[in-house]
Amino acid sequence: MTGNYNQVRAMFAITKASLRAIFRSPSAVVFSIAFPLIFILVFGFIGGGSRISLNVAFDQSSDTANPIYQAMKGIAGLNVSKKTGELLKEDLEKGRITAIIRIRKSGVANPPYNITLTSSEAVNPQNVQVLQSIINAVIAGINRQAYAGAPTIAVISNDVQKIPGRIYRTIDFILPGQLGFSLLSSGVFGVAFLFFNLRQQLVLKRFYATPIRRSYIVLGEALSRVIFQMMTAVIIIGVGHFLFRFTLVHGLQTFLEIMLLSFIALILFMGFGFIVSSVSKNESSIPPFANLITLPQFLLAGTFFSIEAFPSWLQPICRVLPLTHFNNAMRNIAFEGASLASNWREIGVLGIWAVVVYAVAFKTFKWE
């Protein structure tokens, strides 16, 4: 009888039953779909919040032997890019930097310096206004200290030069983080509770009475989680794109690459769930262990705001987290039009994490 038993058919039967159970679970629907959608709706309707810090660059022809340049380099809210040439232009076109600042001598005594800004259509106009306000504040401070007898040390041109660029909306930053939030929550909490309950309710033990192999039991349950979460990803991306114009640079191609990236990340995150289900002694101990894995990533992986807003000593820790690399790759693919292959570094880090996590999961996983 064992030889005629169809393992794949049995696996799909488990998948179907498990998938049905997921849809009947209010918590699964809330944390995987409703909760991320609430954030997307909130930030989508807000429209265009500004970033906490501004990335800028100084034109190579700028005069650097003046107090304005030195004062601006010392402002904590301004991150000065060291890139030049085409790399700098590419960052400007894609909205990675707010503006290129040019400080030059005016050739007259009053004012001694003129300041012009070059930005792009990809930059939030509010960020440009904030930058102009910062520069005006710097000029006013220098005037009070050293140029009290003169009208001003410099004037900033209100005519901001703009180059063509893709419009960068708040949703383009927020949605990748919320999708990562959904994948991580489902992978860790969903798998942990699922396999713990299967052991506690002796469901796995009943499976042993059937000819199906253990590996197919795990694959069947895991496949149901993957199907459900991929459906969730489609909903989240669809709502973001059609309601709030979330950017998909190459349309369907970009969407498919995002789905493949989401699949890779979900497989990794499910590994964390297997570990939590194994080390938990009872059901009440699952949330603390799961939160120990998920909460730091929610807060530090660029889910709600850029990791550049954190202190410099904390940023290396942020860049180690797997959710950080998923978020970065997701934003590169969706907004900048990068391919999966060009995100080899981020995918490689996810792969390394997967090897480590599943090595631990295989050592700790319990069937009874």
Give the pLDDT band of residue 46 (cuts 50, 70, 90). very low
pLDDT, tens digit, 9 for 90 and up, residues 258-299? 999 999 999 999 999 989 988 888 888 888 888 889 888 988
CB atoms within 10 A of CB 33: 20
Of 151-160, 195-204, 258-267, 338-347, least confident by mean pLDDT is 151-160
**113-120/99-105 β-pairing:** antiparallel
Please give the share of the chain, as a percent, with pLDDT higher than 70: 85
Domains in the chain with CATH codes: 7-46+169-364 (no CATH), 54-163 (3.40.190)
Of 168-182, 193-207, 249-263, least confident by mean pLDDT is 193-207
**78-80/54-58 β-pairing:** parallel
Q: Are 229 and 315 in contact (CB under 8 A)?
A: no
Predicted confidence (pLDDT) at residue 128 exceeds the cutoff of 50: yes
Please give the share of the chain, as a percent, with pLDDT higher than 90: 18
Give the pLDDT band of residue 358 (cuts 50, 70, 90). very high
pLDDT, tens digit, 9 for 90 and up, residues 60-113? 888 888 888 888 887 877 888 888 888 888 888 777 788 889 888 877 767 788
Tell me which amino acid residue 134 is. Answer: I
Predicted confidence (pLDDT) at residue 48 exceeds the cutoff of 60: no
Phi, psi of 177 (to 5 degrees): -65, -40
Of 49-53, 195-199, 239-243, least confident by mean pLDDT is 49-53
Of 56, 66, 45, 154, the closest CA to residue 109 belongs to 154
CA distance 240 to 171: 7
Q: Are 334 and 258 in contact (CB under 8 A)?
A: yes
Average pLDDT value for residue range 190-219: 78
Highest averaged pLDDT of the listed ranges 3-12, 23-32, 66-75, 103-112: 66-75
Predicted confidence (pLDDT) at residue 133 exceeds the cutoff of 90: no
Joined together, the tokens standing for residue 193 give 């509770």
Task: Name 97's bridge partners.
Answer: none
Average pLDDT value for residue range 129-135: 83
Average pLDDT value for residue range 215-242: 86
CA distance 340 to 227: 21
Predicted confidence (pLDDT) at residue 347 exceeds the cutoff of 90: yes
